[in-house]
């Protein structure tokens, strides 16, 4: 009965979504206030029903109800509870249901709490949101019903893939999904404002928390995904320009640009059409990201063509939404009044530069990711675009972007004097020059990009705190602190990236128990190889000790695991973290002479990459809290003033 | 920025930036995109020595040889019509085995031996690298059924 109830709840939610759309569309056309009044409760009810449906699916997974096909395919009764729970969205149908659930909850949230927008714009926003959700409801109900029963009922499920039993994988996809959905909400706001011709500061203020929220989730998702790939794959790399990684990076780039332009719109009422366009692009990127990951097109264009239903459905949705959004933008951009003007040297000017650079980087990643797929689809030729392209094309632009980031916050809005900017930024520039000089003098073999990156990071780290200079720190608004911390986080991550690429030391040896391996200041003692057994795997474990200089002796145990059920082998790297870097040890195969391949990396300051990512997200969080609090205060004051009148 | 035409200027800037991105991408792709080669492709038209390419095919039965230093392997990647000698120094990936598919990034040296810098093997029974998909490797071992999804 649980499955049937879930399906009914899903149908009801879909029907309510249709009603939500109809109320909005007809209400706006006929200017009927009672329609406007009805749309809020409908949106809330929709959110509740779709949540119920998702909760029931979770329950089915937790109970290991093997009469439900999705549970059979993706779970097993012996799985740890956490992975039964995470298994709910670790598959196609479940993740699509998660998507509409988050979407529905976001709609309910807007309906309940959004008070600053004009009623018509709010109604149009909710209608746009319903329209987007409808496509996904249709997708679920027509071609991917998560509650489908199975007969005969099998004894147990088949979802035993050990590679998927990892906390990183369990919570990584939902994090990205929250980001994607947040961008679709921002997009709904943009559509709503375009429909009612209400593009201005109020709209930007209503949209901003959603953009910020989406951006925080995407930042966390990308950071976590990068660390997962780093420790799980055993290759010692932290970013591979894999299409799946790019699918999350592209929405992040667009969201970053949108975040900055929406601030211009909210604060200065400039860049109106520009912000709308970025909202459209950010949403398109999140749809393309979903399409790339969900359609199976990445594994193979061929597989996509063989089982075209799902992929084609998402592709059709993609075309409908993006095409519709672009068309609406083209139709309405003429009616968007030009915003306030500004001089080239101004905060706005720097933010325009930020937007342009981010857009170009986005375009480069986009082309590099989709070009091979396009070529293969058209000509059948197989082609690979790899790190050399992405690093060469985006690296220099990213450094330029970071330089703009250092200067931008030090500029005044509307108009500023280049000379006073130079005064404000003199210290960071001197520091950067000194760092560049010192690095060029004392290091050898650094690539130009890494050299510039490290020197730039030194300057930016200082410059990011400059906005606090001569301010009363107690009265500085929270969102300024948020900006400072996020920008500082970028500098921190940049230091990590440059150090990792320049100062990593690596050793690959075939060693016997008893051998000593020396890398940088580390001395590793290879003691023994021992067989091990886990719940569903066997492993060979090498026992080693590692000592940094004369410091304490640590025991490390890199493993090679063999999963019997899935015929899968994974290597479990051993990581040892110090304040100044990470030791990374991988065990390879043994040979007939009793030697074992061992690969050791010493990666100075590599952890700063992810630490920086967390700082960036934290900065975003502070900014969001600060903005929401300030908006709340202002509304209270306004209400109070109105009451007094 | 002339205040009168600010909006037009911004729109033009955006167009210039995107066209610039397109040109930059085209240039970088032409220069850097490593084309995917099968052993037959190399036999037909040999890429220049030192050019970064990606090679994919099946590891020939009985061809894996580990050298004395314990960390270098030599093996032959083959498809239906041709064979290509490969050398690789490093830890071979999980499930790298004879009769199994492999994708290698690297360069041909002057003697026509492919020096692999990274190796990618199919890492579980259900996954194969995109490039290996649909390539006829029947002459390897009877693995075709697991290779076609």
Selected residue with higher pLDDT from B108 and A561: B108
Span A168-173, mean pLDDT?
77
Q: Could you say which of A163, A343, A389 has the minimum Cβ distance to residue B29? A: A389
In a domain, A160, yes or no: no
Residues of B in contact with A591 (CB under 8 A): 66, 70
Q: Which helix (H) or strand (E) holds A153?
A: none
The answer, yes or no, to whether residue B131 has pLDDT greater than 70, is no
Percent of chain A with pLDDT over 70: 96
Contact (CB<8Å) A161/B124: yes
> For position B76, what pLDDT does the model report?
93
Contact (CB<8Å) B29/A595: no
The mean pLDDT of chain A is: 87
Q: Could you say which of A338, A382, A508 has the minimum Cβ distance to residue B89? A: A508
Residue carrying structure tokens 């909850």: A105
A490 and A519 in a single domain? The answer is no
DSSP B47: P
Cα→Cα distances A160→A156, A529, A540, A572, Å: 11, 28, 21, 19
Task: Tokens for B120, please give them.
Answer: 């990618």
Neighbouring CB atoms inside 10 A of A431's CB total 17
> For position A105, what pLDDT does the model report?
94
Contact (CB<8Å) B95/A569: yes
Residues of A in contact with B17 (CB under 8 A): 356, 359-360
Distance from CA of B10 to the nearest CA of A (A): 8
A15 and A134 in a single domain? The answer is yes
In a domain, A162, yes or no: no
Span B36-57, mean pLDDT?
84
Q: Which helix (H) or strand (E) holds B48?
A: none
Sign of CA dihedral A73, A79, A85, A90: negative
Domain residues for the domain of A585 are: 505-604
A325 and A441 in a single domain? The answer is no
In a domain, A609, yes or no: no
A456 three-class SS: helix
Distance from CA of A390 to the nearest CA of B (A): 9
* Nearest alpha carbon to residue A273 among B20, B99, B11: B11
Span A602-623, mean pLDDT?
95
> For position A271, what pLDDT does the model report?
86
Contact (CB<8Å) A568/B123: yes
Residues of B in contact with A235 (CB under 8 A): 118
**Who's near A475: CB < 8 A, 6+ residues apart?**
none
Percent of chain B with pLDDT over 90: 9
* Nearest alpha carbon to residue A619 among A16, A36, A215: A215
CA dist., res. A151 & res. A213, Å (int): 43
Span A316-342, mean pLDDT?
85
The answer, yes or no, to whether residue B121 has pLDDT greater than 80, is no
In a domain, A164, yes or no: no
Q: Could you say which of B22, B70, B123 has the minimum Cβ distance to residue A510? A: B70
Selected residue with higher pLDDT from A534 and B81: B81
Q: Could you say which of A371, A510, A567 has the minimum Cβ distance to residue B69? A: A510
Q: Quick one: closest CA in A to B28, which residue?
A: A389
Selected residue with higher pLDDT from A39 and A379: A39
How would you label B113-132 residue by residue, b for 16+ Cβ within 10 Å and e otherwise?
ebebebbbbbbbeeebbbbb
Phi, psi (5° rounding) for residue B3?
Answer: -65, -30
A461 and A398 in a single domain? The answer is no
Q: Quick one: closest CA in A to B89, which residue?
A: A508
| A592, burial (CB in 10 Å: exposed 0-12, middle 13-18, buried 19+) | exposed
- Side-chain-facing half-sphere of A270: CA atoms under 13 Å: 20
Contact (CB<8Å) B89/A364: no
pTM of the model: 0.90
Last residue of a domain, one of A411, A429, A450: A411
Find out whether A89 and A102 touch, Cβ atoms under 8 Å: no
Residues of B in contact with A388 (CB under 8 A): 32, 34, 52
Residue A164: band (very low, low, confident or very high) from pLDDT cuts 50, 70, 90: low
In a domain, A166, yes or no: no
Contact (CB<8Å) A510/B14: no
Residue B1: band (very low, low, confident or very high) from pLDDT cuts 50, 70, 90: very low
Task: Tokens for A616, please give them.
Answer: 């960036």
Cα→Cα distances B71→A414, B44, B68, B91, Å: 62, 31, 8, 7
**Count of residues making up chain B:** 149
**Rg of chain B over all Cα atoms, to the nearest angstrom:** 21
The answer, yes or no, to whether residue A280 has pLDDT greater than 90, is yes
> For position B124, what pLDDT does the model report?
45
> For position A442, what pLDDT does the model report?
84
The answer, yes or no, to whether residue B2 has pLDDT greater than 60, is no
Residue A348: band (very low, low, confident or very high) from pLDDT cuts 50, 70, 90: confident
> For position A615, what pLDDT does the model report?
96
Phi, psi (5° rounding) for residue A607?
Answer: -65, -20
CA dist., res. A441 & res. A437, Å (int): 6
> For position A259, what pLDDT does the model report?
94
Residue B136: band (very low, low, confident or very high) from pLDDT cuts 50, 70, 90: very low
DSSP A338: P
DSSP A146: T
Selected residue with higher pLDDT from A283 and B143: A283
Q: Which of A21-25, A62-66, A246-250, A615-619 has the lowest mean pLDDT?
A: A62-66
Which residues are B59's β-sheet partners? B77
Neighbouring CB atoms inside 10 A of A444's CB total 7
The answer, yes or no, to whether residue A254 has pLDDT greater than 90, is yes
Residues of B in contact with A404 (CB under 8 A): none
Residue A283: band (very low, low, confident or very high) from pLDDT cuts 50, 70, 90: very high
Contact (CB<8Å) B21/A364: yes
A532 three-class SS: strand
The answer, yes or no, to whether residue B33 has pLDDT greater than 70, is no
Summarised one tens digit per residue, pLDDT across range A30-75 is 888 888 888 999 999 999 999 999 999 999 989 888 888 888 888 8
The answer, yes or no, to whether residue A506 has pLDDT greater than 70, is yes
Distance from CA of B106 to the nearest CA of A (A): 12
A357 and A404 in a single domain? The answer is yes
Selected residue with higher pLDDT from A223 and A152: A223
Q: Which of A545-549, B47-51, B114-118 has the lowest mean pLDDT?
A: B47-51
Summarised one tens digit per residue, pLDDT across range A513-557 is 888 899 988 999 898 888 888 776 788 888 999 999 888 889 998
In a domain, A19, yes or no: yes
A293 and A202 in a single domain? The answer is yes
CA dist., res. A429 & res. A422, Å (int): 9
Summarised one tens digit per residue, pLDDT across range A389-426 is 888 889 999 999 999 998 888 888 888 888 888 888 88
Residues A320-327: contacts with CB under 8 Å, at least 24 apart: A320/A135, A321/A132, A321/A135, A321/A283, A321/A284, A321/A287, A322/A280, A322/A283, A322/A284, A322/A287, A325/A187, A325/A191, A325/A280, A325/A283, A325/A284, A326/A280
A79 and A210 in a single domain? The answer is no
> For position B139, what pLDDT does the model report?
38
CA geometry: angle A175, A181, A187, nearest 5 deg? 145
CA dist., res. A222 & res. A452, Å (int): 24
Residues of B in contact with A367 (CB under 8 A): 21-22, 25, 29
Residues of B in contact with A368 (CB under 8 A): 25, 29
A393 and A441 in a single domain? The answer is no
> For position A520, what pLDDT does the model report?
87
A559 and A638 in a single domain? The answer is no
Last residue of a domain, one of A389, A411, A433: A411
Interface-testing mutation among A243, A337, A382, A590, with chain B (most B C-beta atoms within 10 A): A382
Interface-testing mutation among B20, B24, B68, with chain A (most A C-beta atoms within 10 A): B24
Number of domains comprising chain A: 4
> For position A298, what pLDDT does the model report?
66
| Reported ipTM | 0.77
Contact (CB<8Å) A393/B25: yes
In a domain, A532, yes or no: yes
Distance from CA of A387 to the nearest CA of B (A): 9
Task: Tokens for A272, please give them.
Answer: 């109106």
A123 and A212 in a single domain? The answer is no
Beta strands in A409-504 (DSSP E): none
Q: Quick one: closest CA in A to B8, which residue?
A: A338
A583 and A635 in a single domain? The answer is no
The answer, yes or no, to whether residue B144 has pLDDT greater than 50, is no
Q: What is the DSSP string of A53-116?
A: HHHHHHHHHHHT-TTBHHHHHH--TTS-HHHHHHHTTSSHHHHHHHHHHHHHHHHHHHHHH--S
Summarised one tens digit per residue, pLDDT across range A573-583 is 889 898 899 99
Contact (CB<8Å) A384/B20: no
The mean pLDDT of chain B is: 75
Distance from CA of B26 to the nearest CA of A (A): 9
A556 and A427 in a single domain? The answer is no
Find out whether A204 and A215 touch, Cβ atoms under 8 Å: no
Q: Quick one: closest CA in A to B121, which residue?
A: A569
In a domain, A161, yes or no: no
Q: Quick one: closest CA in B to A346, which residue?
A: B1
Summarised one tens digit per residue, pLDDT across range A175-223 is 988 999 999 999 999 999 988 888 888 889 999 999 999 999 999 999 9
Contact (CB<8Å) A384/B131: yes
Which residues are A516's β-sheet partners? A525
């Amino acid at each position: 009965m649980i499955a049937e109830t879930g399906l009914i709840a899903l149908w009801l939610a879909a029907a309510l979504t249709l009603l939500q759309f109809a109320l909005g569309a007809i209400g706006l056309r006929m200017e009927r206030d009672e329609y406007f009044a009805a749309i809020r409760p409908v949106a809330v009810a929709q959110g509740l029903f779709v949540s119920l449906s998702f909760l029931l699916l979770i329950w089915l997974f937790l109970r290991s109800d093997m009469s439900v096909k999705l549970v059979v395919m993706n779970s097993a009764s012996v799985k740890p509870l956490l992975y039964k729970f995470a298994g709910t969205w670790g598959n196609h149908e479940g993740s699509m249901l998660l998507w509409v659930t988050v979407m529905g909850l976001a709609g309910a949230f807007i309906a309940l709490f959004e008070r600053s927008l004009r009623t018509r714009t709010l109604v149009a926003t909710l209608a746009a949101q319903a329209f987007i959700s409808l496509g996904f409801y249709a997708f679920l109900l027509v071609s991917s019903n998560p509650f489908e029963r199975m007969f005969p009922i099998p004894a147990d499920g088949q979802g035993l893939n050990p590679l998927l039993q990892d906390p990183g994988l369990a919570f990584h996809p939902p994090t990205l999904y929250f980001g994607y959905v947040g961008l679709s909400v921002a997009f709904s706001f943009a559509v709503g404002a375009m429909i009612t011709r209400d593009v201005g500061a109020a709209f930007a203020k209503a949209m901003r928390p959603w953009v910020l929220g989406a951006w925080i989730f995407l930042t966390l998702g990308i950071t976590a995904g990068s660390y997962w790939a780093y420790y799980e794959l055993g290759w010692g790399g932290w970013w591979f320009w894999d299409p799946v990684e790019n699918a999350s990076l592209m929405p992040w780039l667009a969201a970053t640009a949108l975040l900055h332009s929406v601030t211009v719109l909210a604060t200065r009422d400039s860049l109106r059409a520009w912000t709308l366009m970025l909202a459209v692009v950010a949403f398109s990127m999140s749809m393309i990201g979903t399409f790339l990951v969900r359609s199976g097109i990445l594994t193979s264009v061929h597989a996509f063509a063989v089982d075209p239903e799902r992929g084609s459905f998402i592709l059709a949705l993609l075309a409908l939404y993006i095409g519709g959004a672009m068309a609406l933008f083209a139709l309405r951009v003429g009616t968007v009044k030009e915003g306030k003007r500004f001089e080239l040297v101004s905060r706005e000017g720097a933010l325009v530069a930020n937007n342009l650079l981010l857009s170009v980087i986005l375009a480069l990643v986009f082309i590099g990711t989709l070009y091979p797929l396009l070529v293969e689809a058209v000509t059948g030729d197989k082609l690979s675009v790899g790190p050399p392209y992405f690093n060469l094309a985006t690296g220099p632009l990213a450094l330029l972007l970071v330089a703009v980031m250092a200067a931008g916050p030090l500029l005044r809005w509307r108009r500023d004097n280049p000379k006073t900017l130079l005064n404000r930024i003199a210290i960071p520039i001197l520091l950067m020059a000194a760092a560049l000089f010192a690095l060029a003098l004392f290091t050898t073999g650094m690539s130009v990009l890494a050299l510039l990156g490290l020197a730039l990071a030194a300057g930016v780290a200082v410059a990011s705190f400059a906005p606090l200079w001569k301010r009363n720190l107690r009265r500085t608004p929270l969102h300024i602190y948020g900006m400072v911390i996020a920008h500082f986080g970028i500098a921190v991550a940049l230091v990590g990236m440059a150090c990792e690429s320049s100062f990593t030391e690596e050793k690959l040896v075939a060693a016997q128990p008893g051998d000593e391996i020396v890398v940088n200041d580390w001395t590793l003692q290879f003691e023994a190889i021992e067989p091990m057994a886990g719940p569903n795997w066997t492993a060979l474990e090498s026992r080693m000790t590692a000592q940094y200089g004369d410091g304490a002796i640590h025991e490390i145990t890199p493993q090679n695991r063999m999963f019997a059920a899935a015929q899968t082998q994974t290597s479990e790297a051993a990581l040892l973290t110090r304040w100044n870097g990470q030791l990374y040890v991988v065990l390879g195969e043994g040979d007939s002479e009793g030697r074992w391949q061992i690969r050791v990396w010493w990666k100075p300051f590599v952890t700063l990459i992810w630490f920086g990512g967390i700082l960036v997200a934290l900065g975003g969080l502070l900014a969001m809290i600060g903005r929401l609090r300030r908006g709340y205060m202002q509304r209270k004051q306004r209400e109070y003033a109105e009451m007094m009148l | 920025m002339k205040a009168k035409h600010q909006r037009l200027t911004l729109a033009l800037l955006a167009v210039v930036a995107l066209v610039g991105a397109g040109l930059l991408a085209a240039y970088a792709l032409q220069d850097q995109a490593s084309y995917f080669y099968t052993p037959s492709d190399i036999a037909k038209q040999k890429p220049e020595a030192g050019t970064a390419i990606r090679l994919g095919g099946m590891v020939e039965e009985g061809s894996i040889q580990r050298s004395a230093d314990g960390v270098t392997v030599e093996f032959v990647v083959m498809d239906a019509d041709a064979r290509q000698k490969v050398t690789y120094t490093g830890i071979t990936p999980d499930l790298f085995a004879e009769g199994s598919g492999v994708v290698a990034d690297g360069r041909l040296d002057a003697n026509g031996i492919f020096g692999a810098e990274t190796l990618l093997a199919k890492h579980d029974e259900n996954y194969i690298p995109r490039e290996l998909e649909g390539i006829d490797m029947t002459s390897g071992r009877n693995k075709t059924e697991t290779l076609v999804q």
